[in-house]
Amino acid sequence: MGSMLVRTGITMAGFYLVGGSHWERWLMSLLGFLAARLTMKWLTGSSTNILTRSAAEARHAP
């Protein structure tokens, strides 16, 4: 939980530094962040939870 708060704080600080008081910059920062996140999820193939994937793999013999 603490790690999530730190990551969220760093992200929001970055948005504030880039956007300032301009809502257009905030919107573009948010869209860029979402695009980067979706791209990384697509590239890494992490569409499922790693715990669920590990449990499914454990049921199968090698």
Q: Express each pLDDT in 44-59 by its tens digit.
A: 987 555 555 555 565 6
Report the domain count for the chain.
1
pLDDT for the residue numbered 45: 86
28 C-beta neighbours (distance < 10 Å), count: 13
pLDDT for the residue numbered 13: 93
pTM of the model: 0.60
Structural domain boundaries enclosing 51: 2-58
pLDDT for the residue numbered 49: 56
Run of H or E including 13: helix 2-19
Beta carbons of 32 and 22 less than 8 angstroms apart: no
**What residues of the chain score a pLDDT lower than 50?**
none
